[in-house]
Amino acid sequence: MRGDRSSEQRHLEAGRVLGRLRREISEASLGQTLVLVEGKRDRNRLNELGFNVDAICVLNQGHSINGRLDALLLSNPELEHLEVFMDWDRTGGRLQRRCMRYLISSDAPASEVVRDAMVRLLTPETRMVEHIGRWDGLIEGMETVDPPPVDHLLEE
């Protein structure tokens, strides 16, 4: 399936997936939709792509994984959607499985749809959230689903 599409087409589709998540976050009240990433560089990359930094939670902050997940769930009682978005390298895969197992057993509204799509669409280019590039197709895909605000357009 991947061989049938150019990198530009895959980037466009990946951008649409990220754009839908970004739009969902911007339309939800703070704390209803969150993204869980491995580290600060992942959070910074998503922020550079226009995600609200307040909706991005970092897993690796020196606490146990289960303790961090418990704290996240307790501090966000209004949580309706938690997108678990770890890197798709070996370590990220282990963290993803561990987080998903724990969150599902806790009846948390956890999802890994975005990560699954990025694995499928961006694997040749990268295996890390922090390395998702500002490829033209990716940005175009994001903007078709979640256009920038009008005041952003006036600044350029």
Q: What is the C-alpha R_g of the chain?
A: 15
pTM of structure: 0.90
State the DSSP code for 29: P
How is residue 91 written in tokens?
Answer: 């370590």
Task: Give me the CATH topology for the region 2-155.
Answer: Dna Topoisomerase Vi A Subunit; Chain: A, domain 2 (3.40.1360)
Per-residue pLDDT of the chain (156 residues; tens, 9 = 90+): 455 789 999 999 999 999 999 999 999 998 999 999 999 999 999 999 999 999 999 998 788 999 999 999 999 999 999 999 999 999 999 999 999 999 999 999 999 999 999 999 998 899 999 999 889 999 999 999 998 776 544 555
